[in-house]
A and B are shown apart, each in its own frame.
Chain A
Amino acid sequence: MNERDDEGRRRGGVTPWLLLAPGMLWLALFFFVPLWTLFRMSLSERTDRFSDPTFNWEWSNYREAFSQFGDQFFRSFLYGATATLIALLIGYPLAYVIAFRGGRWRNLLLGLVVVPFFTNYLIRTLAWRTILGNESWFVRTAQDIGLLGDEGILRSAPAVIGGLTYNFLPFMVLPIYVAIEKIDPALVDAARDLYSNTWQAFRKIVFPMSLPGVFAGSLLVFIPAAGDFVNAYYLGDVDTTMIGNVVQDQFLVQGNYPVAAALSFVFMGIVMVLVTIYARVLGTEELT
């Protein structure tokens, strides 16, 4: 009997590792190895455009990344944070209505949120370039009623932030919807039975319980938005370039892989710090 128990424990000890193995292998091959390669590249020395950079503990790449591209880093996080906030302000009510008031239209409404994803990301961005062009009906109408000046809106920070918000909005809506949809409506009824008004029920019941969705949605929007370069390229101008544009330029125009890799690492580092702070502040148990 004891021998059987020992064997069972031994198997039980190995089984989780066996189950973990495929995932760990995947992570090692497609995350840690590329990350290590990128890290080595960030410390490599570039001799010319024609040769592969050589690893040489070239910390000056990081100094260059920090010192020369402060404006682009700042804009990236500012635009990313602003787009995340706007997406939250738009996405939360949308998810709330779909979850609590959608009724038999719920699936259709959710489908409408996802439908834009059936179109290529670039096509959607380029569509906004057309919509925001000086000759578009949208801009002309806005100018006619005095909302916009003669300069229009394309090639401006609001256009870039608007594009980021639009493109990543579903990433905000869907996690919040999932979180809200799990809330038992009886809890809201109970709050009302206890003399809460609608706002109090929302503030004390619904919103706290939906925070895991808010947390997940915020990260899903902020991280790709801050690292994006397509919206800044097509909807912005030289004063709205983001760090993604710099990385693209360093990789493909300057051919400066080490600095591009260093920029990528600095960006990742800052994102990790911000996410850690955010997680500590929001402190949702399900996700932290």
Chain B
Amino acid sequence: MIHRRRYRPVAQRINRRQFIGRAGVFAGAVALGPSILAACGGDDDDDSSGGGGGSDSIAISSWLGYMSDQSLADFEAAIGITPNYDETINDNNEYFTKIRPNLSQGEGIGREGMVLTDWMASRLINQVDPPWVQQFDEAAFPNKSNMLAVLASPEFDPQRLYSAPWATGITGIAYNISTTGGEVRTVDDFLNVSGTKTVLTEMRDTVGLFMQATGADPANPSVASAEPAFDALQKALDDGQIDGANGQDYVADLGAGNLAAAFAWSGDVAQITLDNPDVRFAVPESGGMLWSDNFLIPIGTDKVTQATQWINFFYDPANAAVLTAEIQYISPVQGVAEALTAMGGDAAALVDNPLVVPTDEFLASVSIFGTLDETAEEEFDQRFSEILGTG
């Protein structure tokens, strides 16, 4: 399974062919990664004291395309800490499989920070006691007050003691209007589009959209309330209204015109539309899914203050704007729109892109998938896998 990947649009804008090519290569690398990782069991480093080397460096693991060289240099120059930043996270489940052996023994994973999606953050915070992540050093996090209000009090970490959103995106429907011949506004519209259509292998995104389409609230999920959504998904697959499920490799097919429509992530579509304006993104009328990837400090490192300084730096609106201009996902920091405007040029133009700076109307139509307890999560995963033919 593949998760979100981000690109490098403004400063180093890539053309469509490069974009699609990278998407394909990355997707392939991700596919083999899990099998190798499964065999490894543990993390690359068994260093239980953290992986950043001396006190003036920290090690961070994140997703591809979530960082720019400029931002790394800015951080080092401003804070005096050298970030050893890697992009080794391809998938939440895969990464969990990798770090679980160390964390379950109370050992570090050789990292001071990692970026994981809401539900995985919730798992590490709430489903183990004590949590497998550490609280921020609040004294070193004054910019926490800049966090967007809509993200400040999630159910899984109400006071944001353990997690801080790194970037945010919306799951909705991407479609190629030259193929569909008209706008796609609902999940039913999506199912009725002629041509190849896919959903996402990320359970919460696909089931969340179907739950909203069937009148259920994904913010308060239960096995019973999700059953109509699972049934609808199963029926759509059985009836051939959906052709399959993709990880992030839908990007290549959508950009190349091989897909008529797909459940998709907003940041990916923002990038695709730069080169293929026929590709549109819609939040279904029944609602889209809002998700965040969160910065977390794993147990086993004593550099909590330095790691907190890292996230604090990127919660400064000016620094966040520089990063947003690169990665083109929704920033969790207030004041980024103004900072982008101040930057001028291509960066300022992003302010008008609702996929990067969403309007209130946009945000009002999305939900965050609620927390599942372990039993419910296993039932959801199992049911979803069965529908996708692997469970």
Contacts and interface: CB of A to CB of B under 8 A. Distances in A.
Do A and B interact with each other, yes or no? yes
Interface of A: 48-52, 68, 72, 120, 122-123, 125-126, 129-130, 133-136, 152, 154-155, 229-230, 233-234, 236-241, 245-246, 248-249, 251-255
A255 B28 contact: no
A50 B385 contact: no
Given A51-B104, A238-B389, A126 B378 contact: no
8 contacts: A49-B374, A50-B128, A133-B258, A237-B243, A248-B35, A254-B378, A254-B391, A255-B93
Contact of A122 (B28, B93, B374): B28
B249 A234 contact: yes
B32 interface: yes
B381 A50 contact: no
Interface pairs A-B: 6 shortest CB-CB: A122-B28, A133-B258, A237-B244, A241-B389, A249-B390, A238-B389
Interface in B18-48: 24-25, 27-29, 31-32, 34-35, 37-38
A234 B381 CA distance: 21
Nearest to A230: B31
B93 A252 contact: yes
A182 to B, nearest CB: 36
A52 B253 contact: no
Given A126-B25, A130-B256, A155 B34 contact: no
Given A123-B25, A123-B28, A248-B390, 10 more contacts: A48-B374, A49-B374, A72-B390, A122-B32, A238-B387, A245-B389, A252-B37, A252-B91, A253-B1, A253-B381
How would you classify the secondary structure of chain A's contact residues: helix, strand, loop or mixed?
loop
Interface size class of B (residues with CB under 8 A): 35 or more
Given A52-B104, A252-B34, A134 B93 contact: no
B97 A255 contact: yes
Given A238-B388, A254-B381, A248 B34 contact: yes
A238 B246 CA distance: 10
Interface in B358-391: 374, 378, 381-382, 385, 387-391
B94 interface: yes
A97 to B, nearest CB: 33
Interface in B276-325: none
Contacts of A122: 28-29, 31-32
A246 B258 CA distance: 26
Contacts of A246: 390-391
Is the contact region of chain B dominated by helix, strand, or loop, or is it mixed?
Answer: helix
B341 interface: no
A121 B140 CA distance: 47
Interface in B96-131: 96-97, 100-101, 104, 123, 127-128
Contacts of A236: 244
A114 B123 CA distance: 47
Which of A130, A135, A154, A233 has its CB near the most chain B CB atoms (within 10 A)? A233
A126 B127 CA distance: 38
Contacts of B244: 155, 236-238
A133 B256 contact: yes
A155 B31 CA distance: 17
B200 interface: no
B249 A245 contact: no
B24 A155 contact: no
Contacts of B195: 134
A249 B237 CA distance: 19
Contacts of B24: 126, 129-130
B335 interface: no
A276 B127 CA distance: 47
B97 A252 contact: yes
Nearest to A257: B38
A234 B378 CA distance: 25
B65 interface: no
B196 interface: yes
Q: Which of B94, B382, B389 has the most A CB atoms < 10 Å from its CB?
A: B389
A238 B237 contact: yes
A154 to B, nearest CB: 7
B221 interface: no
A114 to B, nearest CB: 21
Contact of B390 (A129, A152, A230, A245): A245
B243 A155 contact: yes
Contacts of A255: 93, 96-97, 100
B50 to A, nearest CB: 21
A205 B206 CA distance: 59
Nearest to B391: A249
Contacts of A230: 31-32
B245 interface: yes
A156 B362 CA distance: 37
Contact of A50 (B1, B31, B104, B378): B104
B257 interface: yes
Interface string B238-250: 0000011100010
A75 B92 CA distance: 29
A155 B244 CA distance: 7
B189 to A, nearest CB: 20
B104 A239 contact: no
B260 to A, nearest CB: 9
A33 to B, nearest CB: 13
Nearest to B127: A50
Contacts of B391: 68, 246, 249, 254
